[in-house]
Structures are given as structure tokens and as C-alpha cells.
Amino acid sequence: MRWWSRLRNVVVNRILGLNDTPHRIAWGVLLGFVVAFTPTVGLQMMIFVAVATVMRANKISGLPIVWITNPLTVVPIYYACWRIGAFFLGTDGDPERGEQIIGRLVGAETSFTWDRLVSAEFWEEVGHTLWELGAELWLGGLVVGVGLGLVFYPITLWGVRVYRRARGLG
């Protein structure tokens, strides 16, 4: 339960308690979801900060969201996004092809180690895999990211307002 306490602390105190307008905080969360699900792992923080700056969103509120896709979660998340994108494009995303491509990335034929995770070869393979999965992955990632962002925007607005009322801040 320690992880739950830490997550709660990040959400309640670090996001809802930010010193910014509720809209800008929620806007940052929405943009964080959009960037998090794009196939840009490794560059997402930089992309998010640039997009949040241009879109005038809170840069801090979306950073924890961007970390949803990380080296430990990227394979199942991108696979699901790829399948969703294939559905919307009508390409029906051949599951065997997707599993082969992602299996190569995970290294099914070799044991997955932390050394592999930090190797240049692994990240080169990530780039190659994202290129092969192409349009389906991008579209699926945008559908999921925008969808989750639109769900969490009003939740975040509500949460910031409740947090501030409870503390007598507004």
C-alpha cells in the first residue's frame, strides 16, 4: 500500500495543489495524456513541455501523466494502441505480425534484463518497431490519449476546485 500512498500524495498535493488556474492545471493533464500515448517514448517529457508551453497549459500537472508510458509499460500500452488504431483504420492489425514485432522488442528469445533496457541496441529496436507499427500506432495512441484526456480534464477541474474549497483557498 506504500505505492498507493505515494500516488495519492502526487495527485492530491502535487497536482491539485498547484498554484495555477484550474483550467491550466486540467489542460496540462489533458495534454499529458495525449503526449503519453504517442509513440515517442524517451522524448515525451520534452515534447510535453514544448506543447504545454505553446498551448499555455500547466507544465507540472501533465508530467506525472507522461510517465504512464515508460520502459516497463510501453509494450502492452503500445500494443493496445496499435490494435485500436488498426480498428479505426480498418487495417485489422494482423495480431501475429504485431506480436512478432513486439516480441522482437521485448526480446522473447532472450531474457529481458536491465542491461538490455539501457542499451543503445534496445532503443534502436524501439525506434524500428515504432516505425513498423506506423499509422495504426499513431492513430491508436492519439485516440486513447485524447479520450483519456477528455475524461480526466473535467475530473481534474472538479478535483482542483474541491481541493481549494477544502483548504479555504477559493
Q: For 130-155, what is each residue's pLDDT tens digit?
A: 666 678 889 999 999 999 999 999 99
Q: Output the pLDDT for position 109.
A: 45
- Could you give the percent of the chain with pLDDT greater than 90? 41
Whether residue 16 contacts residue 163, with contact meaning beta carbons closer than 8 Å, is answered with yes
HSE-CB at 138 with a 13 A cutoff on CA atoms is 5
Most confident of 29-38, 130-139, 158-167: 29-38
- Total residue count of the chain as it appears in this document: 170
All three cell numbers of 71, joined, read 520502459
| Cβ contacts of 109 within 8 Å, gap of 6 or more | 103
Q: For 75-116, what is each residue's pLDDT tens digit?
A: 889 889 988 998 888 876 566 666 666 666 555 445 556 676
d(CA 4, CA 59): 24
DSSP assignment, residue 155?
H
All three cell numbers of 95, joined, read 495480431
Which of the four pLDDT bands, split at 50, 70 and 90, describes residue 24? very high
